[in-house]
């Protein structure tokens, strides 16, 4: 698109969209940034167990990304439950169990690190989630520090999102809320669901990274430019984005990263070598005796940059998260404040949510 201003970090790549021309990033949320997939599976397995049936991934793939009522119809029809369970009754029963589980939601591996990095480098990022606001609030209440870094957030019951995935409504709403004109062919979309990939392709976005559940059949990966096992495996530099600058810039699941982490723990632990060992940090490219690592740890303690080893057992090192801001800190990212969200009484689900809330609602 002519006249698009490149961000300060841009490598200035011109012409057709390539892996080196990304200017903006859009994240899906459920199953990608937040580990909520298991909640839906667990609840639906419990419901089906009453009828002597089992929930499998072929059914889940058909439900993913759809609005709640549409997914409920698929659930009831595919499981041949129309005579004993209505889609509306299914949603109401599921809602009560999900609300309890959502408050325990954890971040997916690599999510915080990647979001922190892109935000720090000035890369415009946002979330486009099928979750409606009430569920978004429950799922993110322990991670508001992460979601506050987004330029904006588009939820499933946003007025501009009239249709769920694979309709492109939510993608269009997310892309146009970035500042200035956005070339859709240079927007990188992160998804875990096949419906999301179809959605972004329908609107001309040529770049997509898929991080699917390993149980999802590989046939659903079609349309992705890159398929990863985890966000920890994502390398920003491959896409022309600012590279990670810390020692763990390599994908966290690689053997080299595991070695670097082990060395870091040696420096910070009270472990004392009983014999000479040769460790070869590949990143540094030099041989490093274990006793030298011990000296480095002691040097840090003398400088006050490490706690005394006696107070820190091996493996006890933790990396604290900064205090999370309240949800009001991210309410401005929506077209309407979170305070206007109405809760669902007695575990029920509102008519509005039945019609608008998506499967991951």
Sequence-distant (6+) residues with CB within 8 A of 252 are 109, 110, 113, 230, 232, 233
* Dist CA 20 CA 253 (whole Å): 23
* Dist CA 224 CA 210 (whole Å): 6
Which two tokens mark 183?
């070339």
28: annotated active-site residue: yes
The structure tokens 């694979």 sit at: 166
Judge contact between 152 and 159, C-beta under 8 A.
no
* Dist CA 236 CA 244 (whole Å): 7
By DSSP bridging, strand 288-289 and strand 278-279 are antiparallel
* Dist CA 110 CA 142 (whole Å): 17
Packing angle of the helix pair 290-303, 255-268 (nearest 10 deg):
50
Rg (CA), the chain: 23
* Burial degree of 15 (CB within 10 A; 0-12, 13-18, 19+): exposed
157: annotated active-site residue: no
Q: Long-range contacts for 79-84 (Cβ within 8 Å, ≥24 apart)?
A: 79/48, 79/51, 79/53, 81/51, 81/53, 84/51
* Dist CA 271 CA 141 (whole Å): 38
Which two tokens mark 49?
């167990």
| Residues taking part in catalysis | 28, 30
């Amino acid at each position: 698109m002519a006249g698009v201003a490149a961000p300060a970090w841009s490598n200035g790549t011109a012409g057709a969209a390539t892996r080196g021309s990304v200017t903006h990033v859009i994240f899906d949320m459920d199953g990608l940034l937040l580990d909520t997939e298991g909640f839906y599976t667990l609840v639906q397995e419990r419901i089906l167990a009453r009828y002597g049936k089992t929930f499998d991934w072929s059914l889940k793939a058909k439900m993913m990304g759809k609005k709640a009522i549409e997914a409920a119809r698929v659930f009831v029809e595919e499981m041949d439950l129309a005579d004993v369970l209505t889609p509306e009754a299914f949603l109401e029963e599921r809602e009560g169990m999900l609300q309890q589980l959502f408050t325990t939601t954890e971040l997916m591996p690599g999510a915080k690190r990647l979001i922190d990095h892109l935000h720090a480098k000035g890369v415009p990022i946002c979330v486009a989630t099928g979750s409606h606001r009430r569920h978004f609030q429950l799922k993110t209440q322990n991670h508001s520090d992460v979601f506050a870094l987004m330029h904006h957030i588009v939820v499933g019951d946003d007025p501009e999102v009239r249709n769920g995935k694979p309709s492109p409504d939510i993608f269009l709403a997310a892309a146009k809320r970035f500042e200035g004109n956005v070339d859709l062919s240079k927007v990188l979309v992160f998804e875990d669901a096949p419906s999301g990939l179809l959605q972004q392709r329908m609107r001309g976005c040529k770049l997509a990274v898929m991080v699917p559940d390993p149980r999802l059949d590989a046939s659903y990966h079609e349309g992705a430019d890159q398929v990863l096992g985890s966000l920890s495996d994502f390398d920003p530099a491959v896409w022309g984005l600012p590279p990670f600058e810390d020692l763990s810039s390599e994908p966290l699941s690689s053997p080299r990263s595991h070695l670097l982490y082990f060395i870091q723990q040696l420096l910070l632990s009270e472990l004392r070598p009983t014999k000479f060992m040769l460790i070869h940090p590949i990143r540094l490219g030099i041989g490093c005796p274990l006793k030298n690592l011990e000296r480095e740890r002691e040097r840090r303690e003398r400088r006050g940059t490490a706690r005394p080893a006696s107070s820190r057992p091996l493996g006890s090192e933790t990396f604290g998260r900064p205090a999370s801001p309240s949800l009001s800190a991210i309410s401005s990212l929506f077209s309407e404040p979170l305070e206007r969200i109405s809760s669902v009484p007695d575990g029920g689900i509102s008519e509005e949510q039945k019609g608008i809330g998506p499967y991951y609602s």
